[in-house]
Amino acid sequence: MLTLGIETSCDDTGVAVIRNDREVLCEFLSSQIKDHSRFGGVIPEFAARKHLENLLPLVDAALRECDISGHDLDLIAVTRGPGLMGSLIVGVMTARALSQAWNVPLIGVNHLEGHLFAPLVDAEDLEPPFLSLIVSGGHTEIICVHDFGKYELLGQTRDDAAGEAYDKAARILGLKYPGGPEIERLAKTGNPNAFDFPIPLKNTDKIEFSFSGLKTALLWQVKKFDGGNIPVNDLCASFQRAVTESLMAKVNLAVKITGIRKVSASGGVSANGALREALRSDERFRTWLPAKGRCTDNAVMIAMAGANSWERGVRMNDVMPDPSLHSL
Ligand code: AMP
Ligand code: MG
């Protein structure tokens, strides 16, 4: 079974072809980071226009690379939400047109279910039930995967997502967008214990996150230097420690509450070295992580989630973009 995956929910245009449930035949990703970084964040209209320019050439390239024609495909899987409306429209409408033209069935994928599949690409031994920490620019949540298609949201952030917190912290420190990789880079030569930032909700018995207070704590700390020399590396390292400890506290709480000792993580923040190390070295559970390049948005995870749904018998007559689609 050949599945074409299409991802355009935010600012990455992704196209991939997989065989059966996880064999990656080819994978293309066109990132718009350079286009948006000069604005300090993603400009939705601009992102949609870039998807329009990039998507069909990437589909062509993918088919050429796999040496197949569109008619050879068995399924097209496209992200239908959540995400930016304009970006989703480009992906979904293109996928609908290709599905009609090639007479290939189409399935819409929840972007979050996509993220949940990212660690599975290289992990044959990760089987449900397991816990999935999704940490991205738009989401921070822990999902219990009872089975594929049977998901339970155990808890999420009250305010900012972890990636959003990294991006806002970077902006406070005058660093470029996206902030996560920059903060990680500078944190490498900083002291994680230089500043004692609050670890949000660390000792509560509820699975939930909050990062807006941490961001404000950073802002006040920066203001204290009053235009003097700001120890950016120490601030980055201390901020990264606080985010990581907060995420780890709730992962451990979820393991304790559910008794499930298998944890996967995905989304842009799961590329963070400190978080990867903390997850991998925690002996209370086993960890599965996507390759660093597949932490952020990509089409392989969308193709995998779509193929898995199709195999389970999910069928969709009318795939439409749904920017506020949430529950899995
Ligand atoms: P996504 O929303 O999954 O595309 O991921 C993008 C988000 O992940 C942005 O908010 C980035 O700042 C964040 N991010 C990417 N790489 C890292 C990293 N190495 N450390 C922390 N955050 C990161
Ligand atoms: Mg994402």
How far CA 278 is from CA of 153, 247, 268, 270, 273, in Å, comes to: 23, 10, 16, 11, 9
pLDDT digits (tens, 9 = 90+) for 94-106: 999 999 999 999 9
Closest CA to ligand 1's atom 22: 180
* Distance in Å, CA 223 to ligand 2 centroid: 32
Distance CA 180, CA 276 (A): 14
273 and 192 fall within a common domain:
yes
Q: Which residues form the pocket of ligand 1, taking CB atoms under 6 Å from any ligand atom?
A: 136-138, 163-164, 166-167, 178-181, 184, 267-269, 271-272, 296-297
Overall average pLDDT of the 277-302 stretch: 97
33 and 102 fall within a common domain:
yes
Instruction: Identify which of 13, 33, 140, 166 to mutate to test ligand 1's pocket (most ligand atoms within 8 A of the CB).
Output: 166
161 and 267 fall within a common domain:
yes
271 and 300 fall within a common domain:
no
Torsion from C-alpha of 256, 258, 260, 266, nearest 10 degrees: -90
pLDDT digits (tens, 9 = 90+) for 157-178: 999 999 999 999 999 999 998 8
Choose the weakest-confidence range: 33-37, 68-72, 173-177: 33-37
Q: Residue 16's pLDDT band (boundaries 50, 70, 90)?
A: very high
Contacts of 206 (CB under 8 A, 6+ apart): 155
Is 328 domain-assigned? no
Q: Running DSSP on this structure, what letter comes out for residue 62?
A: H
* Distance in Å, CA 101 to ligand 1 centroid: 36
Domain count, the chain: 2
Closest CA to ligand 1's atom 4: 296
